[in-house]
């Protein structure tokens, strides 16, 4: 049986070692194989794509364009193909990011990424926090409701339609921690650093048809 291909994008925005190891452990002896995307790619080659991200919004967008990943990735997403964006990898699904400078994102899930502002709140939001599931689907369901995941970020998705929010997290105020449109998902936290619930979440995404 032909193995399905999972693409892991290396956008040169942080170390992809943790997520790479997590995926390899999940798909060991399974019907999947992992392929690193570090340049222009044929969207038809991949059944699923994961984009991890650390650092600044503008830097990740710049790197993806420099590596000739941005345009084929946008087309892949326009076709509603299966995708998981992690942290900044989620944020660039938006229309614009306001970190350091205004930067156009992929424009897939309408909204803007702006500084997390709240009086008497330590920013960046760093550490363990729970997610509150707002609606269930085949990837995110009540298994993950009120479970803790690891966050580290200073910017949040804003001006996003409620229809695109699967879960929120409270840190001084509620903010979108899981977003979705069709087969496209984004998480503000780092599942690869979130122990068993994070691994289960990645597994749920990979195993989803």
Q: Which residues are the active-site residues?
A: 87, 190, 192
Task: Count the Cβ atoms, other than its own, within 10 Å of residue 161.
Answer: 11
Let me know if 198 is exposed, middle or buried by CB neighbors in 10 A (0-12, 13-18, 19+).
buried
**Peptide bond preceding 124 in cis form (omega within 30 of 0):** yes
HSE (CB half, 13 Å, CA atoms) of 123? 13
Decide: helix, strand or coil at residue 196. helix
CA pair distance 81, 203, nearest whole angstrom: 17
């Amino acid at each position: 049986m032909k193995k399905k291909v999972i693409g892991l994008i290396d956008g040169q925005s942080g170390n992809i070692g943790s997520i790479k190891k997590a995926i390899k452990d999940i798909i060991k002896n399974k019907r999947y194989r992992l392929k690193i995307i570090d340049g222009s790619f044929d969207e038809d080659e991949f059944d699923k794509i994961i984009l991890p991200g650390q650092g600044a919004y503008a830097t990740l967008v710049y790197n993806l364009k420099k590596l000739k990943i941005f345009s084929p990735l946008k087309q892949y997403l326009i076709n509603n193909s299966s995708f998981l964006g992690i942290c900044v990898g989620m944020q660039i699904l938006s229309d614009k990011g306001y970190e350091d400078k205004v930067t156009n994102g992929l424009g897939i899930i309408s909204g803007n990424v702006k500084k997390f502002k709240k009086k008497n709140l330590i920013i960046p939001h760093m550490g363990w926090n729970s997610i509150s599931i707002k609606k269930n689907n085949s990837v995110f369901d009540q298994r993950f409701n009120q479970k803790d995941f690891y966050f580290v970020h200073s910017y949040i998705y804003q001006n996003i339609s409620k229809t695109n929010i699967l879960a929120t997290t409270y840190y001084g105020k509620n903010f979108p921690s899981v977003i979705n449109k069709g087969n496209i998902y984004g998480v503000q936290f780092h599942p690869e650093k979130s122990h068993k619930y994070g691994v289960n979440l990645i597994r749920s995404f990979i195993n989803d048809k």
